[in-house]
């Protein structure tokens, strides 16, 4: 009687497993074609089931996307949340940069999913940006400003600093094909993430002016 699409919590083992399977497939498909560019058939294929079967677990395409992106947000924001006011500013920011580069290496699909959505004007996640992202950034911007006031960090706009860290680190996930095309076949190996991390830590703390 109870269709799983109506249930907020899956009732059976199968429902839990299949919903996971679908979300994994949806991540794969949505992250590489965007919302409009992805079809339910593609997701169903990737999940190894028929379209009607998939639609038994999710009301529609929109609901798959929403479920997926809401579930991923916490993972995605985790590195920023871990920024610890009590820690040493330089150490904290260095490991934030490192963690973000590792996320680009290990979870590029998640990065591209968000990038795709924001690029198209974030019509489906604007709430999340204002409701969860902004408060978190506001909070951490205060922390960074506090660090700057102690003199342990040069004074700069903390918001643009956070943007700069996002941009540079996520670049290696979102624009991976470009990075690889420019670096060429010899330098395009897995080492690029380690190189990027080293470069960025140096750039962010020392800058380009020789000392």
Q: How far apart are CA 87 and CA 101, in angstroms?
A: 20
* Contact flag: residue 9 with DNA (CB under 7 A): no
| Residue where the block lists tokens 């956070």 | 162
* Least distance CB 117 / its own copies (angstroms): 10
- For DNA, the binding residue among 6, 8, 9, 13 (CB under 7 A) is 13
Helix (H, G, I), strand (E, B) or coil at 140: helix
Nearer to DNA, 17 or 84 (CB): 17
Q: How far apart are CA 31 and CA 36, in angstroms?
A: 11
- For DNA, the binding residue among 61, 112, 140, 171 (CB under 7 A) is 61
Task: Give start and end residues of each alpha helix (H) in the chain.
Answer: 13-37, 40-46, 51-57, 61-81, 89-106, 108-119, 126-128, 134-149, 158-174, 176-187, 191-206
Beta-carbon count within 10 A of 208 CB = 6
Q: Which one of its own copies, DNA, none interacts with residue 81, CB within 5 to 8 A by kind? A: none
- For DNA, the binding residue among 24, 32, 45, 49 (CB under 7 A) is 49
28-39 burial code (b ≥16 CB/10 A, e <16) = bbbbeebbeebe
Which pair of tokens denotes residue 118? 């924001």
Q: Which one of DNA, its own copies, none interacts with residue 168, CB within 5 to 8 A by kind? A: its own copies
Applying CB under 8 A, the residues found at the interface with its own copies are 32-37, 90, 93, 112, 115-116, 118-122, 126, 129-130, 133-134, 137, 151-154, 156-157, 159-164, 166-168, 170-172, 174-175, 177-179, 181-184, 187, 195-196, 199-200, 202-211
Q: Where on the chain is the footprint of DNA (CB under 7 A)?
A: 1-4, 11-15, 18, 38-41, 49-53, 55-56, 59-62
């Amino acid at each position: 009687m109870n269709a799983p699409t109506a249930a907020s919590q899956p009732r059976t083992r199968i429902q839990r497993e299949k919903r996971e399977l679908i979300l994994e497939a949806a991540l794969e498909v949505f992250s590489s074609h965007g919302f409009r560019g992805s079809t339910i058939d593609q997701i169903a294929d990737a999940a190894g089931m028929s379209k009607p079967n998939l639609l038994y677990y999710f009301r529609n395409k929109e609901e798959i996307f929403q479920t997926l992106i809401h579930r991923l947000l916490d993972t995605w924001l985790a590195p920023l949340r871990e920024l610890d006011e009590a820690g040493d500013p330089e150490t904290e920011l260095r490991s934030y940069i490192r963690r973000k580069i590792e996320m680009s290496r290990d979870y590029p699909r998640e990065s591209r999913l968000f990038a795709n959505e924001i690029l198209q004007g974030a019509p489906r996640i604007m709430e999340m940006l204002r409701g969860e992202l902004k408060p978190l950034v506001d909070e951490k911007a205060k922390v960074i400003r506090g660090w700057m006031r102690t003199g342990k960090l040069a004074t700069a706009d903390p918001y643009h600093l956070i943007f700069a860290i996002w941009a540079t680190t996520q670049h290696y996930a979102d624009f991976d094909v470009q990075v690889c095309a420019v670096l060429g076949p010899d330098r395009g190996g897995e080492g690029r993430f380690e190189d990027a991390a080293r470069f960025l830590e140096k750039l962010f703390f020392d800058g380009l002016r020789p000392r």
